[in-house]
């Protein structure tokens, strides 16, 4: 298959990129790959919304920039923060023109508040912002003739000079992907390749991310020698519901703390006062560490979130999904405390990109959570992720459109690219073994590379991960490639980078906390 542009991943970043490019360059053939169905992405699970300046009476670009810098412990790149904050409102306006609807208050947008924000600034659709945005973008993208979708296809590897050394152009030529249904490996060549593969929360046992969030873009980029930075900045969301529902961790949006909910320990004490004068609305790294400390101090499995002081009508109006999911566990949040604990939520680092979202490999862009733009630094400010995805997708689309209007690689050239060379060996897939290795990797990461790390814990993680790496390598060499195996390979790559980068980081900043440094 050939595309002018191959987009891997169909969350807010990939879809908004494709929609903008399809409109701007109507002759460009765009192929989009999604690992599951089109709807399933990290975006779908984003509850809070988009942090964006919209009320200029109570807010300003300067304040949003300052809040972002403070949350990141001044490690974000200020010029990036500045242009993202300023370009955000136009991107949200465009999203609304494409069909997204946000809650309103009179003629204005209704704004929520989350940790680290000095004012109400979160544009949202009840507590289902991501799901709603995702549906609107899918409808819009489907209406455009030059976008073709392939659902249930996972990324195997990027196509680079490694696959065709004699060409030696030092660029990306597309990707090999594997279909879930018949496990066939398809070669998709492309002038431009865009990774929008989202997060990698699945390297942990306890995560707010869906099962497909396995860092496939990060793994493939790393193997292609693309620069991947700051993976040691893993953000833990303070409040995931305890226990899991049907094996999945459900997020309790920070917006509910913005509406007045308070964290309490087992004795009912509102403990955040002891940790930060912003209390429950301190930046996420501080709140997660405080909960972790409380749990450790009192040997607790979880703490509580008390939303009982919020009017029932407001809960029903603004947090219907949280209300109904808690009810599944028999908890009426208008009357009872919600058991919560931190869970791996967001990777602040990723594939290093410039201000057009270009990576260091020519022809390869990265957008959304899998990228590292410099916006988040050592700790992402709540609801800045969808904002970043929109702004960088728009910038990447503009840049791609210009690139596509210049002379391109010829079609003869793409014909030289070989099909995937898999092993000739048995197709004994060893699914059970793959599942066990994945679970073991998640346990290692949760035990040793969690909210609080140490030199010793990171060393243990490295040693134990090595065993999993060797076992995965053997499976890879001896068996036919399957989606499960390719996913495990990516998880191993991401976990390895997280550990190695954590070992090198010399100070405690943002979400990175090493007890040896105290
Ligand atoms: C939330 O709703 O608490 C999550 C928002 C985010 O991760 O930015």
Report residue 404 as tokens.
């596509």
Q: Which among 121, 284, 380, 489 is annotated as catalytic?
A: 284
CA 420, 423, 426, 432 torsion: positive or negative? negative
Question: How far is ligand 1, taken at its centre, from the CA of residue 17, in Å?
Answer: 22
Measured CA distances, 17 to 81, 102, 334, 361 (Å): 20, 20, 40, 19
Question: How far is ligand 1, taken at its centre, from the CA of residue 239, in Å?
Answer: 10
Above 90 in pLDDT, residue 59?
yes
Above 60 in pLDDT, residue 305?
yes
Report residue 341 as tokens.
């604990």
Contact 255, 124 (CB under 8 A): yes
Residue 400: per-residue pLDDT: 98
- Interval 449-466 mean pLDDT: 98
Question: How far is ligand 1, taken at its centre, from the CA of residue 253, in Å?
Answer: 6
Nearest to 215 by CA among 371, 33, 354: 371
> Which of 112, 113, 255 has most ligand 1 atoms within 8 Å of CB, for mutation?
255
Residue 496: per-residue pLDDT: 98
Instruction: Report d(CA 387, CA 11) in Å as an integer.
Output: 13
Which atom of ligand 1 lies nearest, measured to the CA of 47? 2
Report residue 504 as tokens.
């090198």
User: How does strand 185-195 pair with strand 2-8?
Assistant: parallel
Instruction: Report d(CA 409, CA 368) in Å as an integer.
Output: 27
Report residue 52 as tokens.
């964006």
Q: Is 424 helix (H, G, I), strand (E, B) or coil?
A: coil
Task: Scan for tokens 């140490």, then name that residue.
Answer: 454
Nearest protein CA to atom 8 of ligand 1, as residue: 383
Above 60 in pLDDT, residue 188?
yes
Contact 348, 378 (CB under 8 A): yes
Q: Which of 28-42, 289-303, 347-361, 472-486 shows the lowest per-residue confidence on average (mean pLDDT)?
A: 472-486
Considering all CA atoms of the chain, what is the largest pairwise distance in Å, rounded to the nearest integer? 71
Q: Prior bond to 374 cis, omega within 30?
A: no
| Stronger pLDDT, 421 or 231, i.e. the higher one | 231
> Which of 11, 12, 47 has most ligand 1 atoms within 8 Å of CB, for mutation?
47
Which atom of ligand 1 lies nearest, measured to the CA of 384? 8
Other C-beta atoms closer than 10 Å to the C-beta of 105 total 9
| Ligand 1-lining residues (CB < 6 angstroms) | 46-48, 253-255, 346, 382-383, 385
Quote the distance between the C-alpha of residue 103 and its chain's center.
24
- Interval 181-204 mean pLDDT: 96
> Which of 122, 252, 253 has most ligand 1 atoms within 8 Å of CB, for mutation?
253
Which atom of ligand 1 lies nearest, measured to the CA of 114? 3
Counts of helices then strands in the chain (DSSP H, E): 14, 19
Above 90 in pLDDT, residue 163?
no
Nearest to 194 by CA among 213, 170, 232, 220: 220
Which atom of ligand 1 lies nearest, measured to the CA of 129? 2
Instruction: Report d(CA 479, CA 341) in Å as an integer.
Output: 39
Dump pLDDT digits (tens) for 393-425.
Answer: 999 999 999 999 998 888 888 888 999 987 666
Domains of the chain with bracketed CATH: 2-233+348-415 (3.50.50.60), 238-343 (3.90.700.10), 428-480+482-517 (1.20.58.100)
Report DSSP state, residue 507.
S
Task: Give 460: exposed, middle or buried? Use CB within 10 Å, 0-12, 13-18, 19+.
Answer: middle
Strand ranges for 180-271 from DSSP E:
185-195, 228-229, 234-241, 262-264
- Interval 355-374 mean pLDDT: 98
Measured CA distances, 3 to 32, 149, 419 (Å): 10, 12, 16
Confidence band for 164, pLDDT divided at 50, 70 and 90: confident
Nearest protein CA to atom 1 of ligand 1, as residue: 253
Q: Which of 240-249, 292-301, 375-384, 408-417 shows the lowest per-residue confidence on average (mean pLDDT)?
A: 408-417
Q: Is 394 helix (H, G, I), strand (E, B) or coil?
A: helix
Question: How far is ligand 1, taken at its centre, from the CA of residue 264, in Å?
Answer: 20
HSE-up (13 A, CA, CB side) for residue 127: 23
Give the contacts of 475 (CB within 8 A, at least 6 positions apart). 430, 433, 434, 437, 485, 488
Above 70 in pLDDT, residue 298?
yes
Confidence band for 429, pLDDT divided at 50, 70 and 90: low
Above 90 in pLDDT, residue 232?
yes
Task: Scan for tokens 């136009």, then name that residue.
Answer: 90
Question: How far is ligand 1, taken at its centre, from the CA of residue 43, in Å?
Answer: 10
Q: Is 278 a catalytic residue?
A: no
Residue 384: per-residue pLDDT: 98
Residue 424: per-residue pLDDT: 63
Report residue 216 as tokens.
């496939």
Residue 331: per-residue pLDDT: 96
Looking at every residue in the chain, the average pLDDT score rounds to 95
Question: How far is ligand 1, taken at its centre, from the CA of residue 238, in Å?
Answer: 10
Q: Is 487 helix (H, G, I), strand (E, B) or coil?
A: helix
Give the contacts of 406 (CB within 8 A, at least 6 positions apart). none
């Amino acid at each position: 298959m050939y595309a002018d542009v191959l987009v891997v991943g169909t969350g807010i970043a990939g879809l908004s990129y494709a929609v903008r490019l399809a409109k701007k360059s109507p002759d460009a053939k765009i192929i989009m790959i999604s690992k599951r169905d089109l709807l399933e992405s990290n975006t779908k699970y984003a509850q809070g919304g988009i942090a964006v300046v919209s009320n200029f009476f109570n807010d300003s670009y300067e304040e949003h920039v300052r809040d972002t810098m403070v949350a990141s412990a001044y490690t974000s790149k200020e010029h990036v923060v500045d242009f993202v904050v300023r370009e955000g409102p136009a991107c949200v306006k465009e999203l609304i023109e494409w069909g997204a609807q946000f809650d309103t208050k009179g003629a204005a947008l209704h704004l929520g508040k989350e940790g680290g924000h000095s004012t109400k600034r979160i544009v949202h659709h009840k507590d289902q912002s991501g799901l709603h945005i995702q549906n609107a973008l899918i409808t819009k993208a489907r209406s455009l003739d030059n976008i073709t979708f392939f659902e249930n296809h996972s990324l195997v590897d990027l196509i680079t000079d490694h696959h065709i050394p004699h060409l030696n152009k030092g660029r990306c030529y597309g990707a090999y992907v594997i279909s879930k249904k018949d496990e066939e490996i398809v070669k998709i060549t492309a002038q431009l390749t865009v990774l929008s593969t989202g997060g990698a929360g699945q390297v942990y046992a306890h995560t707010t991310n869906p099962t497909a969030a396995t860092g496939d873009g990060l793994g493939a980029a790393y193997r292609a020698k693309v620069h991947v930075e700051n993976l040691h900045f893993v953000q833990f969301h303070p409040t995931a519901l305890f226990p899991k529902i049907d094996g999945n961790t459900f997020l309790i949006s920070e917006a509910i703390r913005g509406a007045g909910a308070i964290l309490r320990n087992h004795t009912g004490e509102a403990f955040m006062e002891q940790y930060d004068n912003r209390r429950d609305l301190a930046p996420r790294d501080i709140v997660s560490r405080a909960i972790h400390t409380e749990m450790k101090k009192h040997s607790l499995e979880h703490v509580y979130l008390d939303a009982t002081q919020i009017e029932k009508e407001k809960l029903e109006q603004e947090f219907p999904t949280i209300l109904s999911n808690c009810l599944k566990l028999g908890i009426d949040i208008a009357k009872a405390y919600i058991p919560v604990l931190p869970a791996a939520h967001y990777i602040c680092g990723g594939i290093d990109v410039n201000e057009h979202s270009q990576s260091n490999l020519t022809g390869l862009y990265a957008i959304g959570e899998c990228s590292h733009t410099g916006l988040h630094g050592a700790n992402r400010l709540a609801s800045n992720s969808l904002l970043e995805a929109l702004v960088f997708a728009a910038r990447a689309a503009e840049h791609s459109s210009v690139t596509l209007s210049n002379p391109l690689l010829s079609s003869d050239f793409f014909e030289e690219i070989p099909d995937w060379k898999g092993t000739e060996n048995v197709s004994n897939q060893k699914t059970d073994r793959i599942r066990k290795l994945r679970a073991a990797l998640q346990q290692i990461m949760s035990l040793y590379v969690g909210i609080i790390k140490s030199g010793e814990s990171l060393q243990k993680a490295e040693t134990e991960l090595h065993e999993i790496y060797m076992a995965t390598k053997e499976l890879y060499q001896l068996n036919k490639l399957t989606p499960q195996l390719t996913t495990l390979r990516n998880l191993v790559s991401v976990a390895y980078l997280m550990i190695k980068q954590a070992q090198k980081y010399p100070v405690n900043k943002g979400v990175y906390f090493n007890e040896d440094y105290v």
